[in-house]
Structure 1
Amino acid sequence: MSDKLNWAADAEYMSYVGDLLAQPAVQKLADYTQHHHSTRLDHSLSVSYRSYLLGKKWHLNTRALARAGLLHDLFYYDWRVTKFSLGTHAYVHPRIALRNAEKITDLSDMEKDIIIKHMWGATLGVPKYRETWVVSLVDDYAAVDEYFLPMLHKLRHPHRRLEHEHVG
C-alpha cells in the first residue's frame, strides 16, 4: 500500500524519516508480515506518510507524525503466534515498540505518546495530543486497507495476482 503513496519522492517527509529508514532496526520490519498482505515496514510507512499528509493539511506536528508513525510498530515477533503474560498484543507491542525506538533515536514527549497510545480503543490509554489521535485512526484505516483491499481484488479478479502482493 505504501508504494502507491510515493513517500520516497517527498523531500520534506524524507527529511524527517530518512535517518530512521537507514536504521537496520527499521529495515528489519520488512521481514515480518503485518496484515496478511503487507509487511510491517510497508504498514509503518503507510501509517507514517498518511499521518504526515493529514498533519500538513491540519497544521499539526508533521515531524512527530512522520517519525512516530514509522516507529509505532517497531517490534519483531508474529503477533498471531506470540502471546504475553503481561497482557494482550494491543497492550504489549506499543511498549516494546517504544523501547526499541528509544534505542535508535531520541523521542519527544509527543512521539512517545503517539507510539504508546496508538492502539487507543483496544487499550485504555487516552491520547494526549491531536497527533496521537491521527496516528491511531490512520493505523486502523491502514489495517483495514491492507487486509481487505487485496481480498476484494481477489474476489473481483480471482485469476490475477496483485503486483505488490506479499507472499510468505
Structure 2
Amino acid sequence: MLDDGGIHAIVNAYGADILSHEQMQIERDSLQHGAVTTYEHSIAVACLSVKIADRLHLWHHVNLRSLVRAALLHDYFLYDWHEKDNGSHRLHGFRHPYTAERNARADFELDDIVSNSIRTHMFPLTPIPPKYLEGVIVNIADTLCAIRETLSPSRFHAAKP
C-alpha cells in the first residue's frame, strides 16, 4: 500500500504540468468549500482517487495517468462560483462539469477517459453516469472530499504534492 508520500509522488508525476499551469492561479484564489480553495480541493480529490485505486487494488484496471489528470481537472471551471455575477454561475452544480471540460480541453490534451470523467463527475446531478472506472473513482473521491471540506472546513488543509 502506498503512503502519503507515494500518493503525492504519483499526483506530481502525472499532473505536474497541470499544477504549474498559469490558469491554476485562478483555482488558488477561488474558494470551493468552506475555506478550501478549488486548487486544494482538486489536489485532495486527486490524492484520494489514487488512494482508492491503491486500497482496492485497481492498478490493473485503471489508467493511472488519466485518473490523476481527471481528478486535477474535474473543477477546472476557472471562476469563483461564490461571487455575484450576471447569472452565469446560476445552476453551477449542474453546469460546471461542462465548463471544466471545455476549459481543460483548451489548455491540455485530453483522452476520452479524462474528458468523460470531468463531464460526469457530478453524477447524479448530471444525468449521464461515468463511462469509465476512473470517472467513478473521481466521482466518489470528489463527493467524499466535498463532504469533509464542508463539514469541517477549519480543520481541513489539503496536503500539497
Q: TM-score, normalised by structure 2?
A: 0.81
CA distance in 2 between counterparts of 1:92 and 1:128 reads: 19
Contiguous gaps of at least 5 residues in structure 2 = none
- Greater relative contact order (CA < 8 Å, ≥ 6 in sequence): 2
Partner of 1:68: 70
Q: Give the drift of 1:77.
A: 2.4
Secondary structure of the 1:112 match is helix
CA distance in 2 between counterparts of 1:76 and 1:13 reads: 20
Partner of 1:58: 58
**Alpha-carbon distance change, 9 to 140 in structure 1, aligned in 2, over 3 angstroms:** closer
Alignment-mate amino acid for residue 104 of structure 1: D
Question: Matched residue pairs, number?
Answer: 150
Q: Give the drift of 1:147.
A: 1.2
CA distance in 2 between counterparts of 1:122 and 1:163 reads: 25
Seq. identity, %: 33
**Alpha-carbon distance change, 101 to 29 in structure 1, aligned in 2, over 3 angstroms:** same
Q: Which has the larger radius of gyration?
A: 1
Partner of 1:136: 139
Q: TM-score, normalised by structure 1?
A: 0.78
Alignment-mate amino acid for residue 31 of structure 2: T
Q: Give the drift of 1:8.
A: 8.7
For residues 1-168 of structure 1, the aligned pairs below 5 Å read 6=4, 10-56=8-54, 57-59=57-59, 60-80=62-82, 81-82=84-85, 83-84=87-88, 88-150=91-153, 164=157
Alignment-mate amino acid for residue 84 of structure 1: S
Contiguous gaps of at least 5 residues in structure 1 = 152-161
Flag as ranges the 4+ runs of structure 1 deviating above 4 A: 5-9, 162-165
CA distance in 2 between counterparts of 1:125 and 1:163 reads: 31
CA distance in 1 between counterparts of 2:156 and 2:134 reads: 33
Q: Which has the higher helix share?
A: 1
CA distance in 2 between counterparts of 1:163 and 1:125 reads: 31
Aligned partners of 1:8 and 1:14 also within 8 Å: no
Alignment-mate amino acid for residue 22 of structure 2: P
